[in-house]
Structure 1
Amino acid sequence: MAKRHYIPVTADVPGADSKNTCALIRRVVRTALAAEGVTAPCEVDVLLTDDENIHQINLDMRDVDRATDVLSFPEFDLQPGELPTEEDADPGTGLVPLGDMVISVEHVAAQAREYGHSRQRELAYLVTHSVLHLLGYDHLDEGPQKQQMRAREEAILAELGITRED
């Protein structure tokens, strides 16, 4: 049997890591990795938190003094389309440590209301967005990089059957 991805989900907000939420996060991460052609078994650590804690993490790690919706901390400096390999795996676990994502559940709820869709859709979008960051995608410019990342996000969400109306 092939090794599977390991996706631990923890929360420092009571109730944020419900069985359904964790299952959705894991399904989105696995689908995004498969859509990007990642075949090596990977580890992606996910923290669900609130605005106060993500604000502090953003300040400590990025020197940005505000809350945000999602933070991604890649283990590798990849370019879009460049994939980690089994040679990148941790010898102790056999898993490629892709990195960490931190998601504000308060931002998930607020943005779902703002955009008029479900919290599940917003969470799936942010998880997809973060996985793409872990794989080297970026959107700092308003040009081709951002367009490429947005196209991949939409393709992955479509593969999951998640639309803007959800």
Structure 2
Amino acid sequence: MAKRHYIPITADVPGAASQGNCALIRKVIRTALAAQGVTAACEVDVLLTGDAGIHEINRDMRNVDRPTDVLSFPEFEFHPGEVPGEEDADPGTGLVPLGDMVISMERVAAQAKEYGHSKRRELCYLVVHSVLHLLGYDHLDEGPMKREMRAREEAILEELGISREA
């Protein structure tokens, strides 16, 4: 039997943790992990919040005094393409604690409108983006690292059947 990932999802804004959103987020995380070659059972904690909530977390954790769309807090410092193994698992749970992701559902709606696609597509994109951050990808420059991350995002979204128009 395949090991399953543990993906607890909480929300501090009404309606964000709907059954549909939670199922979609879990599917996207599992697909992204599989696409990256992760075979160890992992834990990814997800918080769905609003602009005020993510602004507070961004300020407290990163000293950035503004809201953003998604925050990722990796447990490990992986390099792009590196994946966790069983040796990274918590002995108590048997799961690799990859880290936390925080998503502003207000940003999901605003960016979906801005980019002309669905909230579903924007949510999927932000979840994939965050998983890649948890696995060591970054986009601090406009160079090869950013291009590699964008290529991985597009490949995973394509695997999920999520197009830019979706």
Residues 65-99 of structure 1: CA distance to partner in whole angstroms, max 9, x if unpaired? 00000000000000001111011000111000000
Report the counterpart of residue 58 of structure 2 in structure 1: 58
- In 2: Cα distance, 1:36 partner to 1:61 partner: 27
- In 2: Cα distance, 1:122 partner to 1:41 partner: 26
**CA drift at 1:161:** 0.1
Runs of 4+ in 1 over 6 A off after TM superposition: none
Report the counterpart of residue 80 of structure 1 in structure 2: 80
SS of corresponding position for 1:142:
coil
**CA drift at 1:3:** 2.0
- In 2: Cα distance, 1:48 partner to 1:58 partner: 14
- In 1: Cα distance, 2:4 partner to 2:124 partner: 20
Q: What 5-or-longer segments of structure 2 have no aligned partner?
A: none
- In 2: Cα distance, 1:78 partner to 1:40 partner: 14
- In 2: Cα distance, 1:146 partner to 1:110 partner: 23
User: How many residues align structurally?
Assistant: 166
TM-score (norm 2): 0.99
Report the counterpart of residue 42 of structure 1 in structure 2: 42
- In 1: Cα distance, 2:136 partner to 2:88 partner: 15
CA RMSD of aligned residues (A): 0.4
Identity score, percent = 80
1:110-125 aligned within 5 A: 110-125=110-125
Q: What 5-or-longer segments of structure 1 have no aligned partner?
A: none
- In 1: Cα distance, 2:93 partner to 2:10 partner: 19
1:96-115 aligned within 5 A: 96-115=96-115
Structure 2 counterpart of 1:115, which letter? Answer: Y
- In 1: Cα distance, 2:3 partner to 2:154 partner: 27
Residues 19-47 of structure 1: CA distance to partner in whole angstroms, max 9, x if unpaired? 00000000000000000000000000000
- In 1: Cα distance, 2:98 partner to 2:153 partner: 18
**CA drift at 1:144:** 0.2
Report the counterpart of residue 25 of structure 2 in structure 1: 25
Structure 2 counterpart of 1:78, which letter? Answer: F
**CA drift at 1:110:** 0.1
- In 1: Cα distance, 2:116 partner to 2:8 partner: 29
